[in-house]
Every structure is written in C-alpha cells, then in structure tokens.
Amino acid sequence: MMKKRQKARLVLSLGLLALGSASGALTGCGAGTSEIQGPACFGGVSERGLFVVEVEVDGGVISLNEPFELGVSLRSGEDSTRLLSGRTLLVEGWMPGHGHGMLRQSQVEDLGDGRYRVRGMLFHMPGEWELRVKVIETRLEEDYRVVEDDTISFEVTL
C-alpha cells in the first residue's frame, strides 16, 4: 500500500511540474525547509482532471506549530477560465510517514467567484506533510443527483 501511495505522489508531483511549466500555475511559488516563505502557493489539476486548484498561504509563511490560513481558487478542469463556486472543499494536512493528520479540523468558507477561505490549519510537527484538497461537486441532471469528487495533494516540508 505504501509503495502505491508513494508512486502516485511522484506521478502527481511530476504532473504538477509539467503543468506549472505549461500554464504558469507554479510561477512565483517557492518553499523553504523550516518554513514555507512567500509567496507560498501551490497549483495544479486534480487527479481526475475535474478541477484546477490554486492555493496561496496567507502572509506567505507556514511556520511549525503556528496557525495559518489559505486562500483557494477553484476553476473547471475542462475550461480553466470558468471559476467554480458552490462546491464543498475539504482541506487537511497529512503526514504520510507517520500515518496521521493535523490535530484540528479546518473550516472552509465559500467567498464566491471561485474563491474559498480555509481557516484552522496548523502543522504541529516537523517533517514531510501533504496539503490535501478534496473538491466535491453536487449537481442535478434531469431527475437525478450527481456527486463527483476529486483530490489534489501538495508536498510541504517543515
């Protein structure tokens, strides 16, 4: 199971690098080792290609054991110019090497125009983290409800 997860993360990382080169989604983003310092932003296409997700750390810094907030921009994977509001976002920090996540649960607020605010983030241990974003879309088609979800993860080292 662990080998499969590591392979998927490597493929996703390579895909994000390719996307960053092609679309500029990662342009201007940088990461440090003890702190992520500004501008701290991540971006890419979700695993199934349904969504384009861009995440920016407020203040440009993620410090160990300090709360931080995120701004998230969400667009359609089919048409990246189309902003998506009204979706459910679940955002968490996960330490794959330890098999656990954050000690708190984040809260996500839909600000409209494809923008979301994530509060309550805190990385309480040094090491390798994954910033995971799961997007859930619910819509009506004819006389039935369709629920689709897709995820994207970004690697963070503190």
Q: What is the pLDDT of residue 40?
A: 86
Q: What is the pLDDT of residue 7?
A: 34
Q: What is the pLDDT of residue 36?
A: 63
pTM of the model: 0.77
- Segment (H or E) for 4: helix 2-23
Nearest CA-CA partner of 108 in 94, 93, 95, 121: 121
Give me the residues of the chain with pLDDT under 50, please. 1-34, 38
Q: In 3-state terms, what secondary structure has residue 81?
A: coil
Beta strands (DSSP E) in the chain are: 41-45, 51-57, 68-76, 88-95, 100-101, 107-112, 115-121, 128-141, 144-157
- Segment (H or E) for 122: none
**How do 68-76 and 51-57 pair as beta strands?**
antiparallel
Residue given tokens 């910033």 in the structure block: 131
Q: Amino acid identity, residue 7?
A: K
Q: What is the pLDDT of residue 23?
A: 33
2-157 maps to CATH 2.70.70.10 = no
Nearest CA-CA partner of 153 in 45, 49, 78: 45
| DSSP, res 83 | B
